[in-house]
Structure 1
Amino acid sequence: MTGFASAPGRVNLIGEHIDYNGGMVLPAALSVGVSIELEPREDDGVFVTADQYDAPVERQLSKDAKGHWSDPSVGALREANTLGLLTGGANLTVRSNIPQGAGISSSAALTVAILKAARDASGVSALTDQDIAIAARRVENEYLGVPCGIMDQFAVAIATPGKAMALDTASLEYELLDLPANHTFVVIHSGVSRKLTDGRYKERKVECDEAKIYFKTDNLCALEPEEIAASSLHEAARKRALHCATEHRRVLATVDALKAGDVETIGAMMNESHVSMRDVFEMSVAPIDALVASATEAGALGARLTGGGFGGCIVALVEKTGKEEWLARLLEAHRDAWFVCEA
């Protein structure tokens, strides 16, 4: 039986690099996404056709990841076999309008959509969307070797466009929240691409793990910022922990502001978040910083890097009535940047 499924991309409004450190995050689903058609096979062959790539590719389930664009597909099918959804490979047709390397979770959306399509093909209804999200994270961590948290997978497996997800990554409890009525979150690609397999992402994860060992905790976000600042932990790990603790508190404030319709506070928290990502977690790059500065100068209430860092997208909070003028002014000043979508 052929299976069909789709999953949206996501933008993280605030809460970067704290989903694997016990914090609260606030992603939102986007209108762009991935759709999958999956035809099970009896052998271990994997045949993937994707509209974003010129030629189809043939792989085998038994082979390890090799840094190829088809790796998430192979990993997802291996996980589908582990879950009992499939008993072999599959022919996959992938259609996507999510830009690659933009920081809006193309890999997570693809993995989740394939697992949902395998569930559809198998008729196994007992596997929940939350189960799918957790399985998709295993694909990222164990097959692709990306030390990511659970945020992306939860957001694309459960959230729908027009909603933000306040997700407690320590407990996996979540709440879906309406986005502001008169403002929009605009996603702009900086023109600088990046991949989560970039060693700098893993380096930040290692530094956070060092801080966890020092403080004897799995939850850096539960620590008091003053305790971290006064510690004798080496500078890099201390700064990463400090970002986690303060970013968690910014997310909590943003969630409260979103519920209250307080867009000024949301914007202020976004601005503070970017400063922390730039100066404390040290995950930004000059073109991103310039784009964020221009976004606020042009009238955005707040703007920040979103995603794993070192390139990709920014997200900006802009009044709907002035969005087009704001966007034209921003793109005129940054010719390499381009509009992705809005939430």
Structure 2
Amino acid sequence: MTAFTATVPGRVNLIGEHTDYNGGMVLPAALSVAMSVNLIPRADNRISVSARGYSGSAERALHEPAQDHWSDPSVGALREAVSLGLLAGGAALSIQSTIPAGSGLSSSAALIVAILKAARASGGSDLGDLELALAARRVENEYLGVPCGIMDQVAVAIPQPGQAIALDTATLDYTVVPLPADHTMVVIHSGLTRKLTDGRYKARKEECDAAREAIGRDDICRLDPEEIAAARGLDESVRKRARHCATEHRRVLAAVEALEGGDTCTLGALMNMSHASMRDDFEMSLPAIDALVESAVELGAVGARLTGGGWGGCIVACIANDRREAWQAELLARHTKARFVDAVGG
């Protein structure tokens, strides 16, 4: 049978963490590391998945629930493809990826979107990329049980590598934003892996839900921080989570303005403030990542921050092109578990 192939980039979130499920703005950029899927439709309801990095292959059925297995995202994506009418049954999948697993660069979203894009090609459908992104989020939320927002799926479904998009997660309106020509956004893996299903991401989502319920607003990102400070009946940890969301939303708006105006100094300051908020108010960083961010700035980056869902993964740093090579070498020499992943802009 005919094989259908789709390739989808990973993404780095330049600023705007945990705002996407709270009605706020995000600013992700597509990377050159990517996920490629080769899909061959099957006449039955069986699924065969092989992926570089895993021995052998997984044999599954469309009706199976998630099993906390590496093949779960593939099963969920194919189930969604069938429900959308893109496939009539199962499929054989071959997966190749240059996105580091557990890096916070949306390997799961990229895989699901890539499978849906390959299925769309096989079915000759005209379903748009935004619709596929929404379908991919359903897979994460309903099949995998990850209470994520829409940022990752849109960020890997729509922009091309090297492009950043300012996405309003409340309306799904977005604009392409230019990255600085004289600075590069460098993605460095901390050496600490992360997994959204380990419970901490869900706990933060539940705390944000508690803030929304207590305040009576779904879009807590749109609240004035002073309103959050004055709100009654909030547990202090819940208040801190809400404060991060509201201030982070405003930092994204300011970062977009800075990028459009070519003001990398302001962009860097906003990135540094974002990391401090993630560390202190959202409490999603780790000491080793804090140290990596601190070194990145100390060695010359105009700004640096943790990126992704938290508790591991990557940092992103903004560094002048003419300083990048020496900066990167010294940073990796100082933090021997860290490694270069990708870079955008410049």
Which bin holds the TM-score, normalised by the shorter protein? Answer: over 0.9
Name the CA distance, whole Å, in 1 between partners of 2:241 and 2:10: 27
1:84 pairs with 2:85 = yes
Distance between the aligned counterparts of 1:37 and 1:162, measured in 2?
A: 24
The aligned residue for residue 204 of structure 1 is 204
Residue in 1 that maps onto 2:35: 34
- Cα offsets for 1:253-295 (capped at 9, x unmatched): 0000010110001000000000000000000001100000000
> What is the 5 A alignment of 1:127-138?
127-138=127-138
Equivalent residue, structure 1, for 2:107: 106
Identity %: 64
Partners of 1:56 and 1:156 lie apart in 2 by: 25
Q: Deviations over 1:128-173 (max 9, x none)?
A: 0000000000000000000000000000000111110100000000
Other-structure match for 1:181: 181
Question: Structure 2: how far apart are the matches of 1:138 and 1:196?
Answer: 15
**Cα contact 1:3–1:119 (8 A) shared by 2:** no
- 1:331 Cα deviation after fit: 0.6
Give the TM-score of the pair, scaled to structure 2.
Answer: 0.98
Give the aligned residue type for 2:65: D
Counterpart in 1 of 2:336? Answer: 335
Measure the CA separation in 1 of the matches of 2:81 and 2:286: 37
Segments of 5+ residues of structure 2 without an aligned counterpart are none
Could you tell me how far 1:2 is from its partner in structure 2?
A: 2.5
Long gaps (5+) in structure 1: none
CA shift for structure 1 position 87: 1.2
1:322 corresponds to? 323
1:324 deviates by 1.0
Question: How far 1:215 sits from its partner (Å)?
Answer: 1.1
Aligned-residue offset at 1:4: 1.4
Kindly indicate whether the alpha-carbon contact (under 8 Å) linking 2:215 and 2:231 is maintained by their aligned counterparts in 1: no
How far 1:181 sits from its partner (Å)?
0.3
Alignment of 1:237-316 (within 5 A): 237-316=238-317
Q: Is the contact between residue 162 and residue 178 of structure 1 (CA under 8 Å) also seen in structure 2? A: no
Superposition TM-score, scaled by structure 1 size: 0.99
The answer to whether the 8 Å contact 1:130/1:157 transfers is yes
> Deviation of residue 52 (structure 1)?
2.2
Looking at structure 1, the residues matched to 289 and 117 of structure 2 have their Cα atoms a distance apart, in angstroms, of 34
User: Could you say which residue in structure 2 is the equivalent of 1:217?
Assistant: 217
Aligned to 1:168: 168
| Secondary structure, aligned partner of 1:81 | helix
Contact 1:29 1:164 in 2 (8 A): yes
Q: Which amino acid in the other structure matches residue 14 of structure 1?
A: I
Residue 43 (structure 1) shift: 1.1
Deviations along 1:288-333, whole A, 9 cap, x unmatched? 0000000000000000000000011000001111111000110111
> Residue deviations 1:24-74, cap 9 Å, x none?
000000000011110011111110111121221111111111111111000
User: Any conservation in 1 of the 2:5–2:36 contact (CA below 8 Å)?
Assistant: yes
CA-atom RMSD in angstroms:
0.7
